[in-house]
Amino acid sequence: MIETILLESGIDCDMDRVHVDWSPAKLIEHAISHHEAYLTSTGSLSVSTGAFTGRSPENRYIVDAGEAEKNVNWNSPTNKPIDEKTYKRVRKNVTRYMSQRRHLFVIRGFAGADRQYARKVMVVCERAHQALFIQNMLVRPTKDELEVFGRPDILVFAAPTYVCSRDRDGVEPAAVILDMNKKKIVVAGTGYCGEIKKAVFTMMNYLLPIEDGVLPMHCSANVDPATGRTCILFGLSGTGKTTLSADPERLLIGDDEHGWSPRGVFNIEGGCYAKTIDLTREREPDIFDAIRFGSVSENVKLDRKTREPIYSDSSITENGRAAYPLEHIERVVESGTGEIPSVVLFLTADAYGVLPPISKLSREQAMFHFLTGYTAKVAGTELGVKEPQPTFSALFGEPFMPLDHMTYAYLLGEKIAQNNTRVYLVNTGWTGGPYGVGHRIALFHTRALVKAAQTGELDVAGYRHDDVFDVDVPIACPGVPTELLTPRNTWSDPEAYDREAAGLAQKFRDNFNKRYPGVQLEDLANIKR
């Protein structure tokens, strides 16, 4: 079957050179012996991804043909069209190139822990460490499932050493192309493995709502082992999503990509792809200890003599990463599934210091903040950033959401209403003033607020309405100072707070009106998919 699929795809080579579903040990052995990677002191496989140390949005395309022509949200700047003729030319050139490689690796797995909604994925790649990476990131089939695997639903070709040429291919120097109609993906010219992961996720974000009515989410999820209650956490980089989802009192379902079906929540992945910059065992023990034999580290500086990773060194990139299977984490849900969420948390790091540390949202407010996806950059994080700057990423992962945003917002609102799911906006950022004046909200206070939201204790004392941000703020929370719940009370100058709060609320409205002209908050509940 595999040989047939390769031949049909234009890959004609001796099958002795095609290595199917190799074990981690064999892949690691090959990667080291063929000078792809080093073995670190932790046992992790360390690789350099070359010129591309992160995703390259300008080189990512969706084929503008067939059903995708009408389904894809072409108004989003992240969805760049490419005509079918150019795509076929790139794919033909890439597969012809792969036919000439000394070694090819085939990995089969599932995108989706719930087999009812999962898609069979087959990745064909030219490097062993890529194979190990995707083996970690996909849900690994059982021996019996592999025997009856058959044709994949999603087929991926990854050729990092193929450099695209404008004259030969029509694009340069790299291309990540998704054919939604044929469910095929080409990743060429970039060695950054995250492109494979995110391309598969994007494909699932297209298929699940259309074919299954399932809400795909760029989020983490965990569960209370005593009650089975599931919580999902949305948040952009720097909001604390990874830290808060790795709660020592709860079990992790997954940290990045999930689906919400009528049956509950399921992890789309079988592993984690964690940032490693400034990683320490003290700050992130689960991640630190998970980076061991069987994992892949990307672009992490190593000590030349000891091969010890230097996580504090950003000379290669700030985006050092490690990919490891979920089995490397102790407190994890083995099935990768959970009950229908009882709680949804939207995490934001508000550098203006004006958002309440937690607030309860109605269905319409939840859809609004889902479509908004707010956090804030702070001074010094990027060149030219002198003061807090708002960052809006719709759906908390806009680059990976190919359909109209309202499709996802409708599904979220529908599921909240059907299941009486409680939704909260959690500020993990500043209080007492903006960045540079106030201080970051203490992690133990945030954990107490999150726990109270998850258990329902936050509802006991009741809420007051915040008219500026149109949210409900709890009157009290166990283990949290009352004055912290009302950020205005933490500022030395209340009038300065009022000005800053009004300014941020206006930024919310301006962003929403620009992205979704004519849509009113009260109309969100009536949106149809």
Does the active-site annotation cover 198?
A: yes
Q: Which of 184-188, 386-390, 481-485 has the lowest mean pLDDT?
A: 386-390
Question: Among the options 21, 30, 49, 55, which is catalytic?
Answer: 55
Does the active-site annotation cover 304?
A: no
Question: Among the options 48, 56, 78, 237, which is catalytic?
Answer: 237
Q: What is the pLDDT of residue 410?
A: 94
Structure tokens at 38: 């080093």
- Tell me the HSE value of 293 on the side-chain side, using a 13 A CA sphere: 5
pLDDT exceeds 60 at position 529: no
Q: What is the pLDDT of residue 13?
A: 84
Does the active-site annotation cover 242?
A: yes
Domain made up of 220-255+342-526: CATH architecture: Alpha-Beta Complex (3.90)
Sign, CA torsion 156/157/163/164: negative
Question: Among the options 140, 321, 377, 405, which is catalytic?
Answer: 321
Let me know if the fold of 2-212 is the same as that of 220-255+342-526.
Answer: no
Question: Among the options 30, 218, 328, 422, which is catalytic?
Answer: 218
Question: Among the options 242, 348, 407, 446, which is catalytic?
Answer: 242
Question: Among the options 120, 140, 229, 241, which is catalytic?
Answer: 241
What is the overall mean pLDDT for the chain?
Answer: 94
387: confidence class by pLDDT, cuts 50, 70, 90: low
Does the active-site annotation cover 169?
A: no
Nearest by Cα to 321 from 130, 222, 233, 192: 192
> What are 251-291's pLDDT values in tens digits?
999 999 999 999 999 999 999 999 999 999 998 899 999 99
Does the active-site annotation cover 55?
A: yes
Query: pTM value?
Result: 0.94
Each domain of the chain, given as residue ranges in start order, spans 2-212, 220-255+342-526
Question: Among the options 91, 198, 377, 415, which is catalytic?
Answer: 198
pLDDT exceeds 60 at position 383: no
pLDDT exceeds 80 at position 226: yes
Q: What is the pLDDT of residue 503?
A: 97
Does the active-site annotation cover 498?
A: no
- Token pair 């890439």 in the structure block, residue: 94
Question: Among the options 64, 247, 256, 472, which is catalytic?
Answer: 256
pLDDT exceeds 50 at position 382: no
Nearest by Cα to 187 from 130, 139, 132: 130
Q: In the CATH scheme, what is the code of domain 2-212?
A: 3.40.449.10
Does the active-site annotation cover 237?
A: yes
> What are 503-513's pLDDT values in tens digits?
999 999 999 99
3-state DSSP assignment of residue 410: helix
Residues in the chain: 529
Does the active-site annotation cover 241?
A: yes
> What are 312-366's pLDDT values in tens digits?
999 999 899 999 999 999 999 999 999 999 999 999 999 999 999 999 999 999 9
> What are 91-118's pLDDT values in tens digits?
999 999 999 999 999 999 999 999 999 9
Q: What is the pLDDT of residue 523?
A: 73
Report the C-alpha gap between 242 and 349 in whole angstroms: 13
Q: What is the pLDDT of residue 386?
A: 57
242: confidence class by pLDDT, cuts 50, 70, 90: confident
Q: What is the pLDDT of residue 353?
A: 96
Are 349 and 396 in contact by the 8 Å Cβ rule? The answer is no
